[in-house]
Amino acid sequence: MHKKRTEIIQKGDLKITVIYTGNEVVYGYAYADSHVMSDDDYGDDDMVEKEGPEVEDILIENKTGTIHLSDLLPNKLKDCRFVGPVDCGDGYKESERVITFGDLHIDGSILGILHEVGHVWINERYHSDGSLNYKKKMAKYERHAWGHALSLFNQFKRDGLNLEPNFDAQGIKKFIKESLLSHEIDHRYDEYFSSEGDIKNTDMEFWTGGVSEEEIDDMIKEFLKNDLNSEASLAISKSFRK
């Protein structure tokens, strides 16, 4: 018998209540620990299911009112579930119909969930848009999900519920910038490995608001911290300097 439980997180004037169903559900797949990576191996034999705690709803309240994050999902996708906290952090997996989240104590985590909710809403439109190349399509997808998140965020804030009480306007902007830049770096990393070291497309598509070389270097370092591939790091960092 699975037992329902709740967790309460206090953040500024917010009380965040996470209601767990007591079930563990599949939110994705990963290679088994025993898996050895090699160039000619794209088999799925070693894939294992990743499971995380299923969440019935997340309630956020202060003295002006309460919101239920499940109410932000489109009605026809009510079978979409929140799963977390999981180590991969925020994400929307269409195939599993799950929105994962990381540690809700961290500032930006609620904004991150609003972004994933944005993905759920706009997802279908993007699959059918064949007019853009892959990178442009992904960049548009990410930017629009942020647009959706920001409009929700601003609407709640006007109503007296600031979902990121420890962020000022600059903090919000920085958070979104880092998210979009990490997609840019991610994309160039994939490009680097799929084109034998030649990164052809150097247009900034995800974040177009300007960024310093130090910021990019720091982010690449962070991004590649577990990879330690200095050649890839150098190539990606060079691709930002036309």
The site for Zn ion (CB under 5 A) is made up of 142, 145
Which of residues 20 and 102 has its CB atom nearest to Zn ion in the complex?
102
Going by C-alpha positions, the residue among 112, 121, 3, 8 that lies closest to residue 58 is 8
- Angstrom CA distances, 221 to 22, 92, 186, 204, 229, stand at 38, 25, 12, 19, 10
Tokens 């629009």 appear where? Answer: 144
In the chain, the amino acid numbered 178 is: E
| Nearest distance from C-beta of residue 26 to Zn ion, angstroms | 21
How far apart are CB 145 and Zn ion at their closest, in Å? 5
Q: Which DSSP string corresponds to 117-140?
A: HHHHHHHHHHHT--SS-HHHHHHH
Residue 142 or 164: the one with the smaller Cβ distance to Zn ion is 142
CA atoms within 13 A on the CB side of 102: 12
The nearest distance, CB 142 to Zn ion, in angstroms, is 5
Smaller CB separation from Zn ion, 53 or 118: 118
- Does residue 84 contact residue 113 with C-beta atoms inside 8 Å? no
Neighbours of 143 (CB within 10 A): 18
Taking the least distance from each CB to Zn ion, the nearer of 20 and 206 is 206
| Between 72 and 235, CB nearer to Zn ion | 72
Cβ(62)–Cβ(161) below 8 Å: yes
CB-CB contact of 93 with 28 (8 Å):
yes
Nearest distance, CB of residue 13 and Zn ion, angstroms: 28
Q: How far apart are CA 23 and CA 2, in angstroms?
A: 6
**Cis amide bond preceding 85, omega within 30:** yes
- What's the Rg (C-alpha) of the chain? 19
Cβ closer to Zn ion: 145 or 176? 145
For residue 198, the minimal CB distance to Zn ion (Å) is: 27
Comparing CB distances to Zn ion, the nearer of 181 and 235 is: 181
**Least distance (Å) between residue 150 CB and Zn ion:** 13
Quote the least distance from Cβ 184 to Zn ion, whole Å. 12
The conformation of residue 71, written as its DSSP 8-state character, comes to G
